[in-house]
Structure 1
Amino acid sequence: MKLITVGREFGSGGRELGKRLADTLGFAYYDRELISAVAEKSELDEQYVAGLLEQGRVTGYPFTIRRTFSYGRMPQQNTMKVLIMQEKIIKELAAVGNNCVIVGRSADVLLREYHPLTLFVHAEMKSKVQRCRERAMEGERLTDREIIHRIKQVDAGRAKHRELIAGGGWGCKESYHLCINTSGLSIRQLIPPIAEYAQFWFRRTTP
C-alpha cells in the first residue's frame, strides 16, 4: 500500500492539495468522510464532531447522544472517546490496503507502521487570509482580524490534538518528509512536481 498523509495549516490549501494529489495519482482520498464516520459511530451531531476534530472547538455546537439533542461542553472523557474512535476508523481504512491520501487527523503518527509519505502544507498569513476570502461562503463578511483569529484558533486546536496523540510535533519540519509553502501559488500548478516527488519517494522506499 502507498499512503500519503497531509498535515496543513488552516487556509494553506492543504485540503485542495490532498484531493488534487489523490486524483492525479489515482489514490483514494479521505477527509470529511472520516468526520461522517466518527459522528455516525459515536452518535454525535456531525457539525459538532467537525468543530471538535477540525477546529479544536469544544463549545458552541449541538450534539446528540443516544438521539437526545443538547448544547454545551462535551466532557473530557467523551472528547477522548471521539479521538479514539477516529483513530480506530483511520486504522481500519489503512488495514484495507488501498493506496490513499489522508488529510489531517494526525494520520502520519497513527499510521507510522505503514511508513507513509508525510506532507505538511503551510503558507504566510497574508496568503492564508486571501485563500480564506476566496473560499468564503456566500454572504460571509469577516474582517482580516476575524479571519486571522479563526486561523490561529483552528491551528491551535490541531496542535492540541497532535499533542494529545503524539506529544507534539505539529508543523515542525522534523516531523514530515516534505513541507510545502503555498504562499501566493496555485495549488493546481503545484500538483505535478509534488506527484513526481511522491512517485520517486515510493519507488525509493517500496521493496
Structure 2
Amino acid sequence: MSNEEKNLHELAGRIYDLDEEVYRELGSSLGRVFNGKKEDCIEETFRMMHERNQAYILRNELALISNMARTIQDRAVRHRIMVKYDEILKEVTELPTSFIKGDILDQKMAKLNMLNLQSRFSKNDHLIICIGRTYGCGGSEIGFTLADTLKINYYDVEIFDEVLKRLEAEKDYVHDKGGYPYKEGEDHQSRYLSTVPAFAPTPKSTIKEKLREFSRYHGLPKKDAIFFNQSDLICDMAKKEDFVVMGRCADAILTNNRIPHISIFITAPLEQRVRRIMEVRGYENEKEAKRLLTKLDKDHVKYYKFYTGRNWGKARNYDLCINSASYGIQGSVDLIMRMLKKDGDGKEGSEENGKK
C-alpha cells in the first residue's frame, strides 16, 4: 500500500472514529452513520474517496455526522468534536475526487456578476435557507458548503430519508425521491441519473396491500402522505434550528406556514451542466446527458407545480436566483454570505450549533 493510500485509510478511520465519538457523546436513539463492522465501513469510505461519482455519498455522511454533533449540549465537547470535523472536512475537500471539485465556474460570466440584496431576518427568527436547483449546476455542493460555512445543519432528500427513518416517522418506510429520481446500479448503490421519471407509475399492489396503505395513509397516495410528513418535519425543524434545505418544496411550505426564510434558486446554462455531469458523474454520451437533464427539469417542474401550484425556477418565486456558472461553487457561497451580511465569523458562523 502506497503512502497516499495509507493516508486515505487513516482519514477514513478518523471519519469512522468521529461518528463513533459523536454517538457516544449523544447516546442518541437516532443511531450512527456507520452501522457495519469498522473494517468494512473504513474500506467502503476509502473506496468512495477514490471514486468521483461516489463523492456526494461521502458528503452526506459528513453532513449527518456534523448535524448530530451540533446537538451535543456540552459546549466544550461540541467545540472539540467540531474542530476535529473541520480538520477532516478540509482534508476531504482537498482530495482530487472531492465533491467540491469539478466547478461550474465560467470565467467570462464571472466578470459580470453583481450583488444587490439584503437579509430579512430578525434576531428572533431562525436562519432557514431554501435552495432549489437544476441538476448538474453544483447546487447541492453550494448548499452543503454554505451550511458548513454558517455552521448550521444541511438537509437534502437523502438526509431527510435518514432523519425520517431514524425517527420512525412511518413504520414501513417509503422513499420519496422527488423530482430527482434514483436508480440502484449493479453495485447496489443508489444514484441519481435514473431514466425513471418522478411520476412513473408505481408497481401494482395487491388488494390487501392497497387496503393496508389506505388505512395507514388515511386514504392518501403514498407520495402525498410522505410529502405532508416531510412538510410537518420541515415546519417543526424551523421552530428549533437554523438550516439549509435542498428542494422538498420547502420554500412554498414555509411560505404557506408564514415562517420566515430565504429562498434561492441555482441553475446554470444547459451546456455547462452537461459538461459537469459528464465530468463528475462519468457520463460519456453528451446527447444522452443532455436528454437526461432536460427530462429531469421537466419532472421537477411537474413535481413542484403539483404540490405548490407555483412555477419552478421562475425568478418571481425566489429571493435570489444564481447562475452558478458566473460564480462557481465557492463564489456562489460567498455571494449568499454577502447577502446575509455574514462573513463566516458572525453569529450564524460560530461553532455554537448555529443558535441565535
TM-score by length of 2: 0.47
Indicate if the aligned counterparts of 1:3 and 1:114 stay in contact, CA closer than 8 A.
Answer: no
Equivalence map 1:148-163=2 (5 Å) = 148-163=290-305
1: CA distance, partners of 2:285 / 2:229: 36
Indicate if the aligned counterparts of 1:37 and 1:89 stay in contact, CA closer than 8 A.
Answer: no
1: CA distance, partners of 2:283 / 2:137: 20
Higher relative contact order (CA 8 A, sep 6+): 1
1: CA distance, partners of 2:321 / 2:232: 27
Indicate if the aligned counterparts of 1:127 and 1:184 stay in contact, CA closer than 8 A.
Answer: no
Q: Choose the corresponding residue for 1:34, options 147, 157, 160.
A: 160
Equivalence map 1:22-61=2 (5 Å) = 22-31=147-156, 32-38=158-164, 41-42=169-170, 43-44=172-173, 46=175, 49-50=176-177, 52-55=178-181, 56-59=197-200
Which stretch has the larger CA shift, 152-161 or 11-20? Answer: 152-161
2: CA distance, partners of 1:18 / 1:144: 26
Partner of 1:134: 279
- Per-residue CA deviations over 1:9-32 (Å, capped at 9, x if unaligned) read 111111111111111112211112
Partner of 1:107: 250
2: CA distance, partners of 1:127 / 1:118: 23
Name the amino acid aligned to 1:197.
M
Q: Secondary structure at the match of 1:6?
A: strand
Q: CA deviation at 1:58?
A: 4.0
Partner of 2:266: 121
Partner of 1:193: 335
Q: Secondary structure at the match of 1:186?
A: helix
Q: Percent identity?
A: 25
Q: CA deviation at 1:100?
A: 0.9
2: CA distance, partners of 1:199 / 1:116: 15
Q: CA deviation at 1:183?
A: 2.0
* CA 1:26–1:44: 2 relative to 1, 3 Å: same
Which stretch has the larger CA shift, 152-161 or 167-176? Answer: 152-161
Q: CA deviation at 1:2?
A: 1.0
1: CA distance, partners of 2:264 / 2:238: 17
Q: CA deviation at 1:86?
A: 2.0
Q: Secondary structure at the match of 1:120?
A: strand
Matched, 1:92 2:217: no
Q: Secondary structure at the match of 1:111?
A: helix
Q: CA deviation at 1:174?
A: 0.3
Matched, 1:182 2:324: yes
Name the amino acid aligned to 1:150.
L
2: CA distance, partners of 1:131 / 1:61: 31
2: CA distance, partners of 1:2 / 1:150: 34
Q: Any gaps of 5 or more consecutive residues in structure 1?
A: 69-75, 201-207
> What is the alpha-carbon root mean square deviation over aligned residues?
2.9
Q: Secondary structure at the match of 1:29?
A: strand
Name the structure with the higher strand share. 1
Q: Choose the corresponding residue for 2:223, options 79, 91, 94.
A: 79
Partner of 2:144: 19
Q: CA deviation at 1:186?
A: 2.3
2: CA distance, partners of 1:27 / 1:132: 28
2: CA distance, partners of 1:196 / 1:79: 37
Indicate if the aligned counterparts of 2:179 and 2:296 stay in contact, CA closer than 8 A.
Answer: no
Q: CA deviation at 1:54?
A: 2.9
Q: Any gaps of 5 or more consecutive residues in structure 2?
A: 1-125, 182-196, 210-219, 343-356
- Per-residue CA deviations over 1:139-161 (Å, capped at 9, x if unaligned) read x5441121112212222222112
1: CA distance, partners of 2:331 / 2:262: 20
Indicate if the aligned counterparts of 1:38 and 1:82 stay in contact, CA closer than 8 A.
Answer: no
1: CA distance, partners of 2:296 / 2:225: 20
TM-score by length of 1: 0.77
Indicate if the aligned counterparts of 2:283 and 2:289 stay in contact, CA closer than 8 A.
Answer: no
Larger Rg, first or second structure (1 or 2): 2
Q: CA deviation at 1:184?
A: 6.1
